[in-house]
């Protein structure tokens, strides 16, 4: 059965439940013998919830179970004996059979075994789909009927429905915790598997990174992440910030302190557009326009073999992307400085620029620093610009015209190749992810602390 049709059917049953439940409550109400505890429509909701909720829960469970049921059924077919034993290849063939089974008109399998398995796959899928659909409908119907039969004057329909709504609200907000936990546990789990194969000290302090050639006997030798940490720091926290801090800070100062309201009204959204441009566009721009220009500059400066994937190109573009971020944080913290301080300084005869640089900025400094920390956390987590414009060569260098690579770029490189799931190469990506997650988390916590402390000082 088509899942969409099933959902519509369940929703339809819910609607019928709402109507019949309300009708029954209305009839009791008109009978006039007893006063209803809840409004008729609340009785309707009561029946509808009973009809829909268990069925939906069942569908969710069934949807996660049925692929493995189908898989088991297909593997029992005689033709499945010819499947290769290696799990990765076998899964690929099963996926091919599934594709052919679902599009019999315009797909044809390249592999004869997959072609043979298409028919059993289709049969198993149809069987389990119908089975699940039938059970779901039955469940919706019987639960709805049960609830309908309980509709009477004393039924506290409103309280029951509201309790369910409250539970839903609580479950919805728990998803945030679940996500955080899911991120942390999945990263930690895969990283622990990685550290079983590679000593953690080799990973954190090793200075040689070349995942293309991993010695099976000593994988830690070519998986030292220090060059990646340096590249990430160099591109995201040095070059990008050298662009973003002066530009962001000065434009925030100009727009809040000097610009006419009309100019501010136009320029502020324009600068914010810089933050709305997708990172893949920045990456393309960096690779297509900025990187060649930077290389030409390097050649002009006397570096004939300059890389066209320099750290400078990626860092520059990343810095521009971060400008609105720094500028809006600076904007907020300058605006939070009490006007009295500014007025006092101006009244003493200081010029605007003296007031800004000697009164406003020192007072706003904690906020600005927090903004910069958040901006750094953003820059080191940025992926597409470095994937498209930075190089994969892991160098420890201070020369911005040379190539450097970052943690995020390596995660993408490691996971987009054809590799099995358990190799140290794939697992290394999760270890890098865990490092990145922990560092950005720390930066954020520190930044929020600073902001909080600073706020207390003036309010």
Partner 1 sequence: MNKPAPDAVRAPTDWKTDAMQKRIRRRYARERRFKLFGMLAVILSAAFLAFLLFTMVTNGWRGFTRTEIALPLDFPAMAMQIEPAQLATPGANLALSGAELEGKVSNAALAAYGPQSVPVLSDAAWLKVREALKADPSLLGRKATLWVPASTQIEQGLRGNDAAAPLARKLYDAGKLHTGFNTGFFGDSDSTDPVAVGIWGAFKGSLLTMAVTFLIAFPIGVLSAIYLEEYAPKNRWTDLIEVSINNLAAVPSIIFGLLGLAVFLGSWSLFGVRVGPLLPRSAALVGGVTLALMIMPVIVIASRNAIKGVPPSIRDAALGIGASRIQVVFHHVLPLAMPGILTGTIIGMARALGETAPLLLIGMRAFIVTPPGGFTDPATVLPVQIFLWSDEVSRGFVEKTSAAILVLLVFLLAMNGLAIYLRNKFETRW
Q: Residue 223 phi/psi, 5° resolution? A: -125, 45
Min dist CB 62 to partner 1, Å, is 13
Q: Map residues 52-71 to x or -, x wherever contact with partner 1 holds by CB under 8 A.
A: ------------x--xx---
Q: Is 14 in the site for partner 1 (CB under 8 A)?
A: no
Q: Is 339 in the site for partner 1 (CB under 8 A)?
A: no
Query: Which position among 310, 333, 377, 391 is part of the footprint of partner 1 (CB under 8 A)?
Result: 377
CA distance 194 to 198: 6
Q: Map residues 348-367 to x or -, x wherever contact with partner 1 holds by CB under 8 A.
A: ---xxxx-xx----------
Pair 357, 350: CB distance under 8 Å: no
Upper half-sphere CA count for residue 258 (Cβ side, 13 Å): 11
DSSP summary character for residue 220: G
Mark the segment that binds partner 1 (CB under 8 A) among 123-131, 142-150, 218-226, 243-251: 243-251
Number of residues binding to partner 1, judged by CB under 8 A: 92
Of residues 128 through 167, those in contact with partner 1 by CB under 8 A are 158, 162, 165-166
Q: Is 328 in the site for partner 1 (CB under 8 A)?
A: no
- Is the Cβ of residue 145 or residue 412 nearer to partner 1 in the bound state? 412
Mark the segment that binds partner 1 (CB under 8 A) among 104-112, 301-309, 339-347, 364-372: 104-112
- Is the Cβ of residue 398 or residue 445 nearer to partner 1 in the bound state? 445
- Give, rounded to a whole angstrom, the gap between the first and last alpha carbons of the chain: 62
Q: Map residues 394-413 to x or -, x wherever contact with partner 1 holds by CB under 8 A.
A: --------------x--xx-
Min dist CB 380 to partner 1, Å, is 8
Pair 376, 237: CB distance under 8 Å: yes
Mark the segment that binds partner 1 (CB under 8 A) among 132-140, 220-228, 361-369, 430-438: 430-438
Q: How many helices (H) and strands (E) does the chain have?
A: 18, 0
Both structure tokens of 448: 């929020």
- Is the Cβ of residue 169 or residue 398 nearer to partner 1 in the bound state? 169
Query: Which position among 50, 230, 233, 247 is part of the footprint of partner 1 (CB under 8 A)?
Result: 247
Encode 37-102 in three state secondary structure. CCCHHHHHHHHHHHHHHHHHHHHHHHHHHHHHHHHHHHHHCHHHHHCCCCHHHHHHHHHHHHHHHH
Q: Residue 154 phi/psi, 5° resolution? A: -80, -10
Mark the segment that binds partner 1 (CB under 8 A) among 27-35, 292-300, 302-310, 414-422: 414-422
Q: Containing H/E element for 174?
A: helix 157-197
- Is the Cβ of residue 68 or residue 339 nearer to partner 1 in the bound state? 68
Min dist CB 105 to partner 1, Å, is 4
Q: Is 347 in the site for partner 1 (CB under 8 A)?
A: no
Min dist CB 31 to partner 1, Å, is 25
- Is the Cβ of residue 171 or residue 299 nearer to partner 1 in the bound state? 171
Q: Map residues 166-205 to x or -, x wherever contact with partner 1 holds by CB under 8 A.
A: x-xxx-xxxxxx-xx-xx--xx-xx---------------
Pair 72, 87: CB distance under 8 Å: no
Measured CA distances, 438 to 174, 183, 316, 377, 381 (Å): 22, 11, 25, 11, 11
Q: Is 108 in the site for partner 1 (CB under 8 A)?
A: yes
Of residues 68 through 87, those in contact with partner 1 by CB under 8 A are 68
Among residues 348, 319, 337, 320, the alpha carbon closest in space to that of 256 is found at 337
Mark the segment that binds partner 1 (CB under 8 A) among 8-16, 50-58, 134-142, 379-387: 379-387
Q: What's the burial of 447, exposed, middle or buried (CB within 10 Å: 0-12/13-18/19+)?
A: buried
- Is the Cβ of residue 7 or residue 393 nearer to partner 1 in the bound state? 7
- Is the Cβ of residue 281 or residue 365 nearer to partner 1 in the bound state? 281
Of residues 261 through 320, those in contact with partner 1 by CB under 8 A are 267, 269-271, 273-274, 276-285, 287-289, 320
Mark the segment that binds partner 1 (CB under 8 A) among 129-137, 244-252, 298-306, 393-401: 244-252
Q: How many other CB atoms sit within 10 Å of the CB of residue 163?
A: 11
Query: Which position among 94, 374, 375, 390 is part of the footprint of partner 1 (CB under 8 A)?
Result: 374
Min dist CB 137 to partner 1, Å, is 21
Q: What's the burial of 259, exposed, middle or buried (CB within 10 Å: 0-12/13-18/19+)?
A: middle
Sign of CA dihedral 135, 137, 139, 141: negative
Q: How many other CB atoms sit within 10 Å of the CB of residue 338?
A: 11
Q: Containing H/E element for 387?
A: helix 384-389
């Amino acid at each position: 059965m088509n899942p969409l049709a099933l959902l519509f059917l369940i929703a339809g049953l819910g609607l019928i439940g709402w109507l019949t439940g309300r009708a029954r409550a209305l009839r009791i109400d008109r009978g006039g013998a007893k006063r209803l505890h809840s409004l008729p429509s609340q009785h309707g909701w009561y029946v509808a919830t009973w009809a829909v909720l268990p069925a939906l829960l069942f569908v969710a469970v069934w949807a996660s179970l049925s692929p493995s049921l189908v898989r088991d059924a297909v593997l029992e077919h005689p033709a499945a004996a010819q499947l290769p034993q290696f799990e990765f290849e076998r899964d690929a063939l099963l996926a091919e059979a599934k594709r052919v089974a679902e599009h019999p008109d315009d797909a044809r399998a390249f592999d004869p075994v997959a072609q043979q398995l298409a028919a059993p796959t289709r049969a198993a899928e149809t069987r389990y789909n119908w089975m699940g659909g039938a059970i779901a409908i039955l469940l919706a119907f019987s639960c709805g009927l049960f609830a309908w039969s309980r509709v009477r004057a004393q039924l506290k329909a409103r309280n029951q429905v509201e309790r369910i709504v409250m539970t839903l609200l609580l479950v919805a907000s728990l998803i945030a915790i679940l996500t955080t936990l899911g991120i942390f546990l999945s990263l930690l789990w895969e990283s622990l598997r990685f550290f079983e194969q590679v000593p953690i000290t080799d990973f954190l302090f090793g200075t040689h990174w070349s995942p293309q050639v991993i010695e099976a006997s000593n994988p830690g030798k070519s998986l030292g992440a220090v060059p990646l940490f340096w590249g990430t720091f160099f591109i995201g926290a040095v070059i990008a910030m050298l662009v973003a801090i002066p530009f962001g800070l000065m434009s925030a100062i100009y727009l809040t302190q000097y610009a006419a309201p009309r100019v501010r009204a136009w320029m502020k959204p324009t600068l914010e557009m810089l933050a709305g441009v997708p990172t893949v566009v920045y990456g393309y721009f960096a690779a297509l326009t900025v990187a060649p220009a930077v290389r030409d500059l390097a050649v002009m400066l006397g570096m004939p073999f300059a890389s066209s994937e320099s750290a400078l190109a990626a860092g520059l573009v990343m810095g521009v992307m971060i400008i609105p971020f720094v500028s809006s944080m600076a904007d907020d913290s300058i605006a939070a400085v009490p006007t009295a301080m500014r007025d006092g300084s101006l009244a003493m005869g200081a010029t605007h620029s003296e007031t800004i640089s000697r009164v406003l900025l020192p007072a706003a400094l904690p906020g600005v620093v927090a903004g910069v920390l958040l901006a750094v956390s953003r820059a080191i987590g940025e992926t597409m610009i470095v994937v498209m414009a930075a190089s994969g060569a892991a160098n420890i260098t201070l020369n911005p015209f040379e190539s450097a690579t970052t943690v995020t770029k390596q995660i993408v490189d490691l996971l987009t190749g054809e590799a099995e799931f358990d190799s140290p190469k794939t697992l290394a990506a999760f270890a890098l992810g865990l490092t990145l997650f922990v560092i950005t988390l720390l930066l954020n916590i520190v930044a929020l602390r600073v902001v909080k402390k600073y706020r207390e000082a003036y309010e």
